[in-house]
Amino acid sequence: MPYATEKDLPPSVRAHLPLHAQEIFRAAFNSAWDEYADQGERREETAHRVAWAAVKRLYRKQGRQWVPI
pLDDT tens sequence for the chain (69 residues) = 899 999 999 999 999 999 999 999 999 999 999 999 998 889 999 999 999 999 999 999 999 999 999
Q: Does some domain include residue 3?
A: no
pTM: 0.93
CA distance 60 to 30: 22
Q: What is the rounded distance in angstroms from the CA atom of residue 61 to the CA atom of residue 28?
A: 19
Q: Provide the CATH number for the domain around residue 26.
A: 1.10.1740.70
Flag whether 40 is in a domain: yes
Residue 45 to residue 1: CA distance in whole angstroms: 11
Q: What is the tally of structural domains in the chain?
A: 1
Closest CA to 15 of 67, 69, 68, 66: 66
Residue 66 to residue 22: CA distance in whole angstroms: 11
Question: What region, left, alpha or beta, does residue 40 occupy, with left being phi > 0 and alpha being psi -120 to 50 degrees?
Answer: left
4 lies in a domain?
no
Structural domain boundaries enclosing 16: 11-68
